[in-house]
Structure 1
Amino acid sequence: MASADPAASDILAEAMRPALLRLYRRMRRETQDGDVSPLQNLLLVLIIKSPGIGVGALAEIEGLRGPTVSGHIKQLEAAGLIARTPPDPQDRRRTGLVATAEGVRRADAVRRQRTDWLARRLDRLSPAERQAIEAAIPALVRLGE
């Protein structure tokens, strides 16, 4: 595979970064759950995808400090959106985290709101613009890996 032109990549990155940031902020603002912050929703989704995950692993995945994640976990737990698993028999200090039925419901509701919001925005685009976005999805996924 030929190497990309660094100058062209810089130009593309400069154009793409603010567009993606603006889109993310709009979607987040339009679909915010008043009781759960965007970071808490992200943590909730990670817990749903990995039942039994620990606070340390969540912090590592998101590149955050353990105490920061721990504070958000306590708030999610107090809101009844997650629960702790019984202690690990091998290490009694370690408990995992699981989403409650209410936590799953809330995460699903936010996901549906965001999908609906994005679908309404996509409806405003021309068929050619929608096709261009569809064609870019695999590359965008790779960028996020």
Structure 2
Amino acid sequence: MPSSRSSPIPASTLAIADELRTALYRLHRQLRRESADETLGVSPLQNLFLAMINDHPGIGVGELARMEKLRGPTISGHIKSLEAAGLVTRAEPDKEDRRRVGLLVTEKGRETLDALRMRRRDWLARQLAALSPDSLAALRDAIGPMNEISS
């Protein structure tokens, strides 16, 4: 709900927000489906954890849980599965806090992430290639403003 100091949001902007939210949600779901592959042995949630650990080497399970707004026990089971698959390893305990052990993505984990990212990219590229030149140009032009919104 907007604060009393902010200007009211025009109805046309609210309508765009609703349509964009729906389109982004559907696109996100389809991209997740594209990364679901039992041959790689990684669920969409495990893929998310793998990407987070890759982006934040040495992150702890507790930190990962806070960032993803999940409970530690929920994440612990997934981390154990990722470890068993050889995708994640635990770093040496922190010298200042021996209870804290950071997580690292293994080479196999990076290869899995790369394979999943390429699969999603290729799927999206195929969808984009089927668009008209005008639709493709409109999407290209929308990338800048969408990046502004998300930063």
The alignment's TM-score, normalised by the length of structure 1, stands at: 0.89
Aligned residue among 9, 12, 17 for 2:16: 12
Q: How does 1:97-136 map to 2 (within 5 A)?
A: 97-136=103-142
Aligned residue among 94, 99, 119 for 1:93: 99
Is 1:31 aligned to residue 17 of structure 2?
A: no
Q: 2:25 aligns to what?
A: 21
Give, in angstroms, the shift of residue 8 of structure 1.
Answer: 2.4
Q: Percent identity?
A: 52
Give, in angstroms, the shift of residue 6 of structure 1.
Answer: 3.9
Superposed CA RMSD in Å reads 1.8
Aligned length: 144
Please say if residues 35 and 44 of structure 2, whose CA atoms lie closer than 8 Å, have aligned partners that are also in contact: no
Give, in angstroms, the shift of residue 4 of structure 1.
Answer: 7.1
Q: 2:4 aligns to what?
A: none
The code of the aligned residue for 2:11 comes to A
Is 1:143 aligned to residue 149 of structure 2?
A: yes
The code of the aligned residue for 1:86 comes to E
Q: 1:58 aligns to what?
A: 64
Moved over 6 A (4+): none
| Structure 2 residues not aligned, in runs of 5+ | 1-6
